[in-house]
Amino acid sequence: QRYCQDTYRGQLASVHSSARNQELQKLARTYNTFLSPWIGAVTSCRTGKWESHWEDSSPWNYANWAPTQPLHIVTTCTTLSIRDGLWRSRFCLQLRPFICQY
């Protein structure tokens, strides 16, 4: 998120529809990487309950989690699978490609 803000003056992408999810999945596929990229969803424990939110503070009105996701263990960031378009929780310190919107 910090790199996206500092370098591109943007935010990690937020996804608010199935069409947008498919568009970003298709975009990510064009970069010939095996790693699923970061999007801007974070899952954390707030006021005693687990919830997901977008880094850009936009409304949480769409989700496309893989089965058993998101994880509710520690705060996690989210990847968009280039293979199936589903979202998965990952530890935030992993180096991965990312989708920045600006």
Backbone angles phi, psi at 45, to 5 degrees: -90, 115
pLDDT at 57 over 90: yes
Q: CA–CA separation, 66 vs 41, rounded Å?
A: 14
As a whole number, mean pLDDT of residues 8-23 equals 96
pLDDT at 32 over 80: no
As a whole number, mean pLDDT of residues 61-69 equals 97
Buried b (16+ CB within 10 A) or exposed e, 53-79: bbbeeeeeeeebeeeebbeeeeebbbb
pLDDT at 2 over 90: no
Range of the domain at 80: 1-101
pLDDT at 33 over 80: no
CATH code of the domain covering residue 90: 3.10.100.10
Backbone angles phi, psi at 12, to 5 degrees: -60, 145
Kindly report the pTM of this predicted structure. 0.93
The pLDDT tens digits for 75-87 are 999 999 999 999 9
Number of domains in the chain: 1
